[in-house]
Chain A
Amino acid sequence: MSPLRRRLFFGVPLAFAVAGGEGFYILLRRMQAQQYDPHALPSPLIGKRPPAFSLPGTAGMQGFANTDIAAPPKPMLVNWFASWCVPCAEEAAMLGKLAAGGLAIWGIAYEDNTQALKQFLAANGNPYQRIAADADGTTAINWGVYGVPETYFIDKSGIVRWRYAGALTDDVVASTLNPLLETYS
Chain B
Amino acid sequence: MRRALFILALLPGLAVAQDMVTRDGVTLTQAQETRAETIGDQLRCLVCQNESIEDSNAKLAAQLRQIIRTQVVQGVPDESIMNYMVQRYGIFVLLKPPVSPLTWLLYAMPGLALLAGLAAFWFGRRKTGTAAPLNATEAARLEDLLRE
> Is B63 within 8 A of A146, CB to CB?
no
Q: Give the interface size bracket for B toward A.
A: 10 to 19
A9 to chain B, nearest CB (A): 7
Which of A5, A137, A147 sits near B123, CB closer than 8 Å? A5
* A1 vs B124: C-alpha distance when bound (angstroms): 8
Name the A residues within 8 Å of B126 (CB-CB): 1
Any chain A CB within 8 A of the CB of B141? no
* A141 vs B70: C-alpha distance when bound (angstroms): 15
Q: Name the interface residues of B87-122: CB closer than 8 Å to any CB of A.
A: 87-90, 92
Most chain-B CB neighbours within 10 Å: which of A43, A141, A142, A143? Answer: A141
Name the A residues within 8 Å of B47 (CB-CB): 146-147
* A148 vs B90: C-alpha distance when bound (angstroms): 18
Chain A interface, >50% SS class: loop
Q: Give the interface size bracket for A toward B.
A: 10 to 19
Contact mask for chain A residues 36-53; partner B; CB cutoff 8 A; 1 contact, 0 none: 000101111000000000
> Is A44 within 8 A of B123, CB to CB?
no
Which of A9, A41, A44, A141 sits near B64, CB closer than 8 Å? A141
A154 to chain B, nearest CB (A): 18
* A1 vs B47: C-alpha distance when bound (angstroms): 54
> Is B88 within 8 A of A143, CB to CB?
yes
Q: Name the interface residues of A126-146: CB closer than 8 Å to any CB of B.
A: 137, 141-144, 146
* A42 vs B60: C-alpha distance when bound (angstroms): 18
* A144 vs B64: C-alpha distance when bound (angstroms): 11
* A143 vs B87: C-alpha distance when bound (angstroms): 9
Which of A8, A137, A144 sits near B89, CB closer than 8 Å? A144
Contact mask for chain B residues 117-142; partner A; CB cutoff 8 A; 1 contact, 0 none: 00000011011000000000000000
Chain B residues in the interface with A (C-beta under 8 A): 46-47, 49, 60, 63-64, 67, 86-90, 92, 123-124, 126-127
A-B contact pairs, 22 of them (CB 8 A): A1-B126, A1-B127, A5-B123, A5-B124, A39-B49, A41-B89, A44-B86, A44-B89, A137-B60, A137-B63, A141-B60, A141-B63, A142-B88, A143-B88, A144-B89, A144-B90, A146-B47, A146-B60, A146-B89, A147-B46, A147-B47, A147-B60
Chain A residues in the interface with B (C-beta under 8 A): 1, 5, 8-9, 39, 41-44, 137, 141-144, 146-147
